[in-house]
Amino acid sequence: MLTSLRYLAGTAGPSGFGSRTTAEEATAAGRDLAHITAIITGATSGIGAETARVLASRGARLVLPARSLKAAEEARARVRADCPGADVTVLPLDLSSLASVRRFVKRFLHLGLPLNLLVNNAGKYADRFAVSEDGVEMTFATNYLGHFLLTRLLLDKMAETARDTGVEGRIVNVSSTIHSWFPADDDALAYLDRVTRRKIQYDPTKAYALSKLANVLHTRALADRLKEMGANVTANCVHPGIVRTRLIRDRDGLITNTVFFLASKLLKTIPQAAATTCYVAVHPAVAGVSGKYFADCNEASPSRLGASSEEASRLWTFSENITAEKVQKTTSSVHVVSTGLFGLQAQSSIVPNRAMALAA
């Protein structure tokens, strides 16, 4: 109750910021980000676009991956219109495809740039059931699994940059308060298995909640991993707040318009929704803080499942297995084969059939 009132009033929390803080305000603490190179996923629209604009306006060099290069070029043009001279590189990346993630990382590493900041922001809410080319339910594949692999493949670069520059690296996972809608008594991985194999009916909201819970659990396990590595890199996750973006584009129409109109007092603007990401990404007060969940630019509590170390390490092991790659020689060509939970079998795009199939 108190939290809701504080949200509505925009009252500042211990950080000095609250629900009405904008990304510009959250980054105004005199920080020149000219020494920062950041990858921001999902910057072609919504919260990611505003995050990119504000970080570029503070001088950060940006790498913007997107599944449509045309959309990425347009995003770059918008950033440059606002911040002339901004250093923005665009590269192709479809997060729903593990092969695309690998190609992106190869291209990025080839550029020879440092990497201080990784903002895993891209996301989708899918009204209709689909399976990724790797054979995983599409919302989970896009919102979580692609980001898991992306982060894993970039960890060494981030640790190396932090070591060479003495500047703390940061990873920000954009989750949602909706992660708490995944029932505490349900088994996340078993649910993913059932929904992927179409053993149960697809529920878009539950699939979205599961993917956002995975973002929270990923953060927790990642923070532990970074500590074990001795890397000067932190990992935190955020709930940006509720804001009308293209996220629910599948549901555009009269009913959605009416709901948003009625709820307009509860919604954030896009500059407000980008504030928590930007705060956690660059604010000096967050230095050394890792494995935490933030909302309205303040530390908050995730759901009970989201706070579970056991669930976090279970998901981490599952994700490592499912994204693992080993090279297998066949008579005609070399196939990249992944194996994971549910006996997942994958062949790379060298073989044009559907890549990863769940064993029945």
Residue 244: strand, helix, or coil: coil
Verify binding: residue 231, ligand NAP, rule CB under 6 A: no
Verify binding: residue 142, ligand NAP, rule CB under 6 A: yes
Q: Is 202 a catalytic residue?
A: yes
x-marked contacts with ligand NAP along 70-89 as a string, rule CB under 6 A: -x------------------
Verify binding: residue 281, ligand NAP, rule CB under 6 A: no
Are 276 and 237 in contact by the 8 Å Cβ rule? The answer is no
Question: Per CB under 6 A, which region of 41-49, 81-89, 179-187, 254-262 contacts ligand NAP?
Answer: 41-49
Site for ligand NAP in 153-212 (CB under 6 A): 174, 176
**What are 14's two structure tokens?**
């211990």
User: Of 265, 241, 243, 277, nearest to 19 (Cα)?
Assistant: 241
Residue number with the smallest Cβ distance to ligand NAP = 46
Classify residue 46 as left (phi > 0), alpha (psi -120 to 50) or beta: left
Smallest gap from Cβ 229 to ligand NAP, in A, equals 26
Distance of CA 85 to the CA centre of its chain: 27
Smallest gap from Cβ 208 to ligand NAP, in A, equals 7
What per-residue string of b and e applies to 216-252 under the rule 16 or more CB within 10 Å gives b?
bbbbbbbbbbbeeeebbbbbbbbbbbbbbbebbeeee
Residue with tokens 């005609």: 332
Rounded-to-integer distance, Cα 240 and Cα 282, Å: 15
Q: Which residue in 202, 208, 279, 293 is the catalytic one?
A: 202
Among 18, 42, 291, 306, binds ligand NAP (CB under 6 A): 42
Q: Which is nearer to ligand NAP, 98 or 346 (CB)?
A: 98
Q: Which is nearer to ligand NAP, 176 or 338 (CB)?
A: 176
Question: Per CB under 6 A, which region of 3-11, 16-24, 42-50, 323-331 contacts ligand NAP?
Answer: 42-50
> Which strands sit side by side in the sheet containing 345-347, from one edge to the other?
326-329, 334-339, 345-347, 356-357
Q: Which is nearer to ligand NAP, 150 or 231 (CB)?
A: 150
| Cα dihedral 49→52→58→59 (10° resolution) | -140
Smallest gap from Cβ 167 to ligand NAP, in A, equals 26
- Residues near ligand NAP (CB under 6 A): 41-42, 44-48, 66-68, 71, 93-96, 121-124, 142, 174, 176, 239-240, 242-243, 245-247
List, by residue number, the catalytic residues.
202
